[in-house]
Structure 1
Amino acid sequence: MIAAKAKMNDREVFHEHLNGQYSMCRAELLPMLFEMGKTITNCDNLQKTTSLLLKIMKGHFNVECGILTLYHQKTGTIFVHESLGLTEEEKARGVYNIGEGITGKVVETEQPIIVPKIREEPNFLGRTHCRENEELDYSFICIPILREKKVLGTLSIEKEYTNNTLLQQDVELLLFIATVIAQAVDLYLLETEEKDYWEKENQRLQEALKKKFHPSNIIGNSPPMREVYSMIEKIAKTKMTVLILGESGVGKELVANAIHYNSICANGPFVKFNCAALPENIVESELFGHEKGAFTGADSQRKGRFEEANDGTIFLDEVGELTLSIQAKLLRVLQEKTFERIGGNKAIKVNIRIIAATNQDLPMMVKKGTFRQDLFYRLNVFPIRIPSLKERGSDIISLCDHFVLKYANENQKQIKRISTPALQMLMTYSWPGNIRELENIISRAVILCEDEVIHGYDLPPSLQDATLSGTTERTGLESKIEAVEYEFIIEALKRTNGNITNAAEDLGMSRRMLGLRIQKYNINYKQFRNKQFRINSLPLNL
């Protein structure tokens, strides 16, 4: 026994535990503290620092429960970052507000708190886990982690003490450790928790903006579309006449829907009529209705679309196709909100909002005399121009996502993404048919797709020709082979971060042959070296 005691003196025992077992001695503790300080100095890595801290808690303090909490100033919450002796479920329960419980008071006062007997302290909430009866005699030490007069969190242990000297020594050592790790904790909060908070806050604000300016029936969040959403939000509050302008297939009807269903007329009828779909004599009857016997075949009275839209909205699509005689009648409806049925002489008054749409150049038609100038001025009170698809940039990806999911579900297929070459083809195409053309192309590609990825060769030749270079005249088989070859080269360059040598080896060909293929297809291999390159695939929200 004496020899053993002498040996312990040589190792500079820090203190002796009351149950006869010796805890971690100074010779073992100091190297760990040195390593902790070196870790913080070199890389400010809280994970490594915490790992060393838990070893000290287990070895020197000989505790079953030790906790490191962090204080998030933006949210005002204190949460368990790392612990010894707690399960993940127990850690999740250890969330406090400032001033709440012992931990919350330590953060609030920035002063250590020592609870000699947990059972005798009413402010001890013990949210992390339920204690057995014998643990109620434990003491609780909670130390604030401070840096430049800013509280960052707490360091706490639960342990049974019958010797005040040992308790005071542990408090002093915890204070020292809290000072050592303060820098790492501060940087962690700045780089991780602050970043996470602002990302969530940004996402929240984006969702709020989308909810305010982005009608649920329209896909896309590009700057031109956000301007459209803003216009919709402003005009929907009124009953003003709206003229929607834009190329064929851009979604003018969807905008009309958004205006109506976000307006004060939303509870009324929404009547749609395509002015280019029927001959002139039928268009007049459809719009204004007719009396019985007004013309051959008029066996009964019939209400027109304007009457059906009373107390609601009428949407006149392709209004530029109306003849001059019907334009004159439409002008009266706009001016006086009255009209007569064909064959009748009774003025019918309606309370409606008129939304018109066209893909034609109405000012040019006015100059040519094919569209009434006074009608144009009446319609052009609040024009909204819908951008073409080629102006909407990243909205193409969102629309592809939507249409792939839609048609994959309809055809009971599991399609997870669109390949990089296919995306490049979709992004570089001019889209003369706009969204309607995109939808048709995606529905075709879903049908042709034979695995979980839509490839470039699943797209029509018109899109492949817009991306691929080579001979000007190719047979269908040659075009298919080139599309497959292009796809393989792009995927190889993506996997090798634009390294031509590695890509050639991956493809089983010489570097020179790959270089010729890259030149043939006009591929910029350097773009794959940029870590910010993001046109890798289209992940679908399956």
Structure 2
Amino acid sequence: MKRFFRNKEVSADKKQNPLNNKILGTILGRIGDAVCIFDRNFNILFQSPLHIKWFDKLEEFICFKRVDEIKPNRTVKTITNETGSSLHLEISTFPIKDDEGSFIAGINIVRDVSHAIKLEEKSKKLVLFKQQQLNKLELKTIIGNSKPIQKVLEGVHKISKLDTVVYIQGDTGTGKELVAQAIHKLSLRFNKPFLAINCGALTESLLDSELFGHTKGSFTGADSESIGLFEAADGGTLFLDEIGEMSTGTQVKLLRVIQDGEVRKLGATTSKKVNVRVITATHRDIAKLVVENKFREDLFYRIHVFTIHTPTLKERSGDILMLAENFLQEFAQQQNKIIRKISDEAILLLKMYSWPGNIRELRNIIERATILCESDVLQPRDFPVAILNSGSRETLSSLNKDQAPDDPHKVKIIASLEKNQWNKTLAAKDLNMSRTTLWRKMKAYSLPNN
């Protein structure tokens, strides 16, 4: 290469070797990359046909004023070819020195990386698509189409990608931890730990030890050092369930961690930085506890940034059948049973029950019913007495006790209306009859019109 430049420099003395130059030019012109060689005064010594095709002017690929300023560099430039398509070119420039180390020239190598960039873009789109599918799959664990549960899902979507503290308010058994898990798995921390603790299940000292850790000898029975959940969840999410049961002493320590991002073990004199997203939940009215001086006001404002309310099963009664059928298939599979559906009479009982234990109670009742079921259809006899009593007491006024056993058609119509939230168009379709026929049968059975 250096002989090539020496030959160029002494061309005036007629000492150059035309054969060597032709060989080098042929080699550089035939390789897949575009090549341009220029001297220290930016005079082009060689430019391959492909380089000429891509660049008309020197300044299009030269980004320095002096050859001795050249440093190996790589940039990607996009141009438009003769067909109007975009070409992504990787431009690399390197200095060339003589035997004494002086800069005498530079070489510019250009490679078409359009295909590689397209593959990279496709790969990114594939990763995004897979993540979106995982997001959808994760949200499918929160079952329901009712407006209250859709509002919950909207909240999960809005807050999941942020690091904001989330406060989940809802009665016992409404799925608060399920919501917290969905937020974590849709967040940027999804591949980090998700840890949960029930703050109402432990005494103050035990909860402090669990949350913040302790040093050896910090209290009676502390025979060894232990890290707390905040350290264990570093980089991930910590879910504090029933935070309303936390003592004011623990609240002070928790506030310090949330404010400063530092945790200090019991018995330690130094703190450690932690990066943990905190999600809290409770079934209690925290604002009321603040007024009663049972919950710190400063902590309340720290955790009460973004609130998600988990509705009771009564508030989302339209989801009862969907939840029940989902639980039925889950437990039937676990128990190696084939149970096709829930009978209309059983659906009616599920709809009329008040569900004080919410989703947790529904899940437990369906599990029990699956165990007791001896056919391929879940029947009222498979339910506990509480459900049956609720049904006999609260049956619609139009469904008299003496009619219910002998009039399965009426029960089927009521069950379908309940299932479809008394939407007569949907119920008629479900019953495979016209809306007019349904209206006539409702009138014959003295069923309410709404």
TM-score of the two chains, using structure 2 as the length reference:
0.60
Partner residue in 2 for 1:251:
175
CA–CA separation in structure 2 for the residues paired with 1:327 and 1:242: 16
- 2:287 aligned partner, one-letter code: P
Per-residue displacement from partner, 1:116-140 (whole Å, max 9, x unpaired)? Answer: xxxxxxxxxxxxxxxxxxxxxxxxx
Output the amino acid matched with 1:410: Q
Specify the alignment match of 2:95 in structure 1: none
Does the C-alpha gap of structure 1 residues 534 and 210 become closer, same or farther in structure 2, counting only changes over 3 Å? Answer: farther
Partner secondary structure for residue 295 of structure 1: coil
Q: What residue number does 1:355 align with? A: 279
Q: CA RMSD in A?
A: 3.0
Quote the residue 1:225 is aligned against: 149
Change (3 A) 1:428 1:237: same
Distance 2:252 2:428 in 1: 56
Aligned counterpart in structure 1 of residue 334 of structure 2, from 385, 393, 410? 410
Structure 1 residue 277: Cα displacement: 1.5
- State the match for 1:287 in structure 2: 211
- Residue 223 of structure 2 corresponds to 299
**Pairing 1:336–2:260 present:** yes
Deviations 1:57-92 (A, max 9, x none): xxxxxxxxxxxxxxxxxxxxxxxxxxxxxxxxxxxx
Aligned equivalent of 1:261: 185
- How many residue pairs get aligned? The number is 291
Q: Check the 8 A contact 1:333/1:339 in 2, yes or no.
A: yes
Q: Distance in 2 between matches of 1:268 and 1:214?
A: 16
> Deviation of residue 273 (structure 1)?
1.1
Contact 2:404-2:411 within 8 A present in 1 as well? no
Matches of 1:319 and 1:458, distance apart in 2 = 37
| 1:486 to partner: Cα distance | 6.8
Q: 1:365 maps to which residue? A: 289
One-letter amino acid of the structure 2 residue matched with residue 446 of structure 1: T
Q: Which runs of 5+ in 2 are unaligned?
A: 1-131, 433-450
Distance 1:338 1:492, change over 3 A: same
Contact 1:421 1:486 in 2 (8 A): no
Does the Cα contact within 8 Å between 2:211 and 2:228 map onto a contact in 1?
yes
TM-score (norm 1): 0.50
Note the C-alpha offset of 1:310: 0.7
Given the alignment of the two structures, is residue 462 of structure 1 paired with residue 386 of structure 2, yes or no? yes
Partner of 1:156: none
Aligned counterparts, 1:26-45, within 5 A: none
Pairwise CA distance, 1:301: 1.1
Q: Please state which structure has a larger fraction of its residues in helix.
A: 1
Q: Secondary structure at the match of 2:427?
A: coil
Q: What secondary structure sits across from 1:354 in the alignment?
A: strand
| In the alignment, structure 1 residue 325 sits paired with structure 2 residue 220 | no
User: After superposition, where does 1:437-456 map in structure 2 within 5 Å?
Assistant: 437-456=361-380
Q: How does 1:464-483 map to 2 (within 5 A)?
A: 464-469=388-393
Aligned partners of 2:191 and 2:370: how far apart in 1? 38
Give yes or no for contact 1:213–1:230 (8 Å, CA) kept in 2. Answer: no
Given candidates 274, 277, 296, the residue that maps to 2:201 is 277
Q: Is the 8 A contact 1:316 1:354 kept in 2?
A: yes
The structure richer in strand per residue is: 2
**1:424 and 1:535 in contact (8 A); partners too:** no
1:236 is the counterpart of 2:236: no
Contact kept in structure 2, 1:421 and 1:487, CA below 8 Å: no
Return 5+ residue gaps in structure 1 as ranges.
1-207, 472-481, 499-522, 538-542
Contact 2:164 2:306 in 1 (8 A): yes
Percent identity over the alignment is: 43
Distance 1:214 1:535, change over 3 A: farther
- Asked if 2 retains the 8 angstrom alpha-carbon contact of 1:213 and 1:226, the reply is no
How many Å separate the matches in 1 of 2:431 and 2:343?
A: 7
Deviation at 1:361, TM superposition (A): 0.6
Residue 348 of structure 1 and its aligned partner are, at CA, apart by 1.2
The alpha carbon displacement at 1:216 in A equals: 2.7
Is 1:376 the equivalent of 2:271?
no
Q: Which amino acid aligns with 1:289?
A: G
Q: Distance in 2 between matches of 1:272 and 1:493?
A: 48
1:469 CA displacement:
3.9
Asked if the contact 2:233/2:276 (under 8 Å) is kept, the reply is: yes
Q: 1:461, CA displacement in angstroms?
A: 2.0
Instruction: Name the aligned partner's letter for residue 310 of structure 2.
Output: I
CA distance in 1 between counterparts of 2:277 and 2:169 reads: 17
After superposing the two structures, state which structure 1 stretch, 235-244 or 221-230, moved more. Answer: 221-230
CA distance in 2, matches of 1:383, 1:431: 24
Q: Deviations over 1:215-256 (max 9, x none)?
A: 132111211111111111110110010001100000000000
Supply the AA of the counterpart residue of 1:489: D
Distance 1:307 1:529, change over 3 A: closer
Structure 1 contact 415–451 (Cα < 8 Å) conserved: yes
Question: Kindly tell me: are residues 432 and 534 of structure 1, through their superposed partners in 2, closer, same or farther at Cα, counting changes over 3 Å?
Answer: farther
Higher relative contact order (CA closer than 8 Å, sequence separation 6+): 2
1:532 paired with 2:449, answer: no
Q: 1:528 Cα deviation (Å)?
A: 12
8 Å CA contact 1:275–1:319 kept in 2: the answer is yes
The one-character-per-residue Cα deviations of 1:332-356 (angstroms, maximum 9, x if unpaired) are: 1111111211111111111110000
Query: For 1:462 and 1:216, how far apart are their aligned partners in 2?
Result: 30
- Distance between the aligned counterparts of 2:178 and 2:217, measured in 1? 38
Contact 2:345 2:411 (C-alpha < 8 Å) held by counterparts: no
Structure 1 counterpart of 2:296, one-letter code? R
Q: Secondary structure at the match of 1:266?
A: coil
Q: Is the contact made by 1:245 and 1:357 (CA closer than 8 Å) also made in structure 2? A: yes
Q: 1:213 to 1:382 in 2, by over 3 A?
A: farther
Q: Give CA deviations for 1:43-64 in whole Å, capped at 9, x if unaligned.
A: xxxxxxxxxxxxxxxxxxxxxx
Note if 1:493 corresponds to 2:410: yes
